[in-house]
Amino acid sequence: MEKQVKIPQGDEKVMVELTRKELMSLAGIRFHGNHKIEVSARKKLHDILESQESAPRQLMN
């Protein structure tokens, strides 16, 4: 099964404001008992990607 995926050009820079704990969580440090930190950081990244939806994209196979 062949699937096409839209990949943004990706050369432009974006700014995301993260707390130090969110950054540590994305770097792989685990905060046992507080999964919300990683979820919050990933949501911020997802939101910035969604807000950049108008950026030109390239189709990849």
pLDDT, tens digit, for every residue of 2-61? Answer: 676 666 677 778 899 999 999 999 999 999 999 999 999 999 999 988 887 655 555 555
Structural domain includes residue 9: no
Structural domain includes residue 61: no
Structural domain includes residue 1: no
Full domain range(s) for residue 28: 17-54
Structural domain includes residue 28: yes
Q: What is the 3-state secondary structure (H, E, C) of the chain?
A: CCCCEEEECCCCCCCCCCCHHHHHHHCCCCCCCCCHHHHHHHHHHHHHHHHCCCCCEEEEC
Total domains present in the chain: 1
Structural domain includes residue 10: no
pTM of the model: 0.66
Structural domain includes residue 7: no
